Amino acid sequence: MYISIDLGGTSTRVASSKDLISLHKLERFPTNKELVVEKKLLNNAIAKVIEGETVDFVCVGVPGMVDRYARTFEKIVNYPELTGKSYEVLFDITIPNSKIVIENDAALAGLAESRRGVAAKSRVVAYLTLSTGFGGVRIQDKQISRIQGNFEPGHMIIVEDGREDSVCGQKGCAHSYLSGVAFKEIYGMEPFDCKDPKVWNEYGEKMATVITNVVAMWDPGVIVLGGSIATRFEMFEPAMHDALYTQSLFDMPKILKSEMGDVNGVWGGFDLISQIQNS
Ligand SMILES: [Zn+2]
């Protein structure tokens, strides 16, 4: 049995698959900020989805930095105490470290979008996740680009000397304006509760700056927006569209809303395991 886990900032999703093509069982629960509690909830969910079967391989998606060539955790945003620890520490059942892969959560979601989602026909895909955090990845030929760590488009500066970001410490990065955390701080409400067009116009204009930078640096054939805030795509898309077409240099790629929902990360985990096993 294969397991794919998405340790999101707000919710944790745990899925199993027998063939890496179809989903066997899925469990989800609110992510707990205490690592000890989260570990317990995680292992309970694993027991439910594997139903007593042996685990062949596990993929874990995490928000934060990933070193693909190390076998220990790097800077995981929610659980700094994991830094430097071996992957096995997450599990109560014995799983050899060689059968565990850790990947950035946005990278996994982007991989799934490029293989199964709305971007399945494009060679170069930029995936941006607008969720509790703001992440993203460049996928080329249905592979996560082979860089040492991971892309962090959420921490590109979009407003010089702007708001200070709680994650990176920089001023004016995309995360400090467009993440769910920032949205709540700036507008005093959850993105899902917001119906104010002024707010969404502002959001769309800032997204246009991000998109222009992504196009300039990554040259994607399509851009996919995922994560919970992307479900409000129709609210910010008009202002984003208008701002994007104030320039005339770039041919803007299609900008699409993810249709896979919040399980694209776990699907991406199964896709990555499949790629590792076939390489
Ligand atoms: Zn930042």
Q: Give me the pLDDT at residue 248, please.
A: 87
How far is Cα of residue 209 from the mean position of the Cα atoms in its chain? Answer: 20
Position 159 scores a pLDDT of 98
Question: Is pLDDT of 4 > 80?
Answer: yes
Tell how far the Cα of 36 is from the centroid of ligand 1, in angstroms.
27
Q: Which phi-psi region, left, alpha or beta, contains residue 75 (left: φ > 0; alpha: ψ -120 to 50)?
A: beta
Q: Which two tokens stand for residue 64?
A: 């934060």
Q: Give residue 163 CA to ligand 1 midpoint distance, Å.
A: 9
d(CA 29, ligand 1 centre) in Å = 27
Measured distance between the N- and C-terminal CA atoms of the chain, rounded to whole angstroms: 19
pLDDT tens figures, 164-213: 999 899 999 999 999 999 999 999 999 999 999 999 999 999 999 999 99
Measure 128 CA to ligand 1 centroid, in angstroms: 15
Span 213-219, average pLDDT: 96
Residue 188: CB atoms within 10 Å:
9
* Cα(78) to centroid(ligand 1), Å: 15
Q: What is the pTM of this model?
A: 0.93
- Taking 90 as the threshold, does the pLDDT of residue 44 lie above it? yes
Tens of pLDDT along 66-86? 877 788 888 887 898 998 898
- Over range 14-27, report the average pLDDT: 97
- Whole-number pLDDT of residue 51: 96
Taking a C-beta distance cutoff of 8 angstroms, is the pair 138, 219 a contact? no
Please determine, for residue 29, whether its predicted confidence score (pLDDT) is greater than 80.
yes
Judge contact between 226 and 268, C-beta under 8 A: no
Structure tokens at 184: 């709540």
Pairwise pLDDT comparison (157 vs 120), residue with the higher score:
157
Please provide the DSSP assignment of the chain as one string.
-EEEEEE-SSEEEEEEESSSSS--EEEEEEPPSSHHHHHHHHHHHHHHHHTTPPP-EEEEEESB---TT-SB---BSS-GGGTT-BGGGG-SS---GGGEEEEEHHHHHHHHHHHTSTTTT-SEEEEEEESSSEEEEEEETTEE---SS---GGGSBSSTT-PBPTTT--BSBTHHHHSHHHHHHHHSS-GGG---HHHHHHHHHHHHHHHHHHHHHH--SEEEEESGGGGGHHHHHHHHHHHHTT--SS-PPEEEE-SSGGGHHHHHHHHHHHHHHT-
Residue 64 has pLDDT above 90, yes or no: no
Same fold, 2-105+263-277 and 118-258: yes
Topology of domain 2-105+263-277 in CATH is: Nucleotidyltransferase; domain 5 (3.30.420)
The Å distance, Cα 130 to ligand 1 centre, comes to: 13
Average pLDDT, the chain: 94
pLDDT for the residue numbered 68: 74
For residue 171, the CA-to-ligand 1 centroid distance in Å is 7
pLDDT in the model for residue 149: 74
Strand partners, 76: 64
- pLDDT on residue 76: 83
Domain locations in the chain as residue ranges: 2-105+263-277, 118-258
Q: What CATH class has 118-258?
A: alpha beta
Average pLDDT of 49-63?
A: 95
Distance 25 CA to ligand 1 centre (A): 35
> Ligand 1 center to residue 115 CA distance, Å?
29
Q: Is the pLDDT of residue 274 over 90?
A: yes
**What distance in angstroms lies between residue 9's CA and the mean position of ligand 1's atoms?**
16
pLDDT score at 220: 97
Question: What pLDDT is stored for residue 97 in this prediction?
Answer: 85
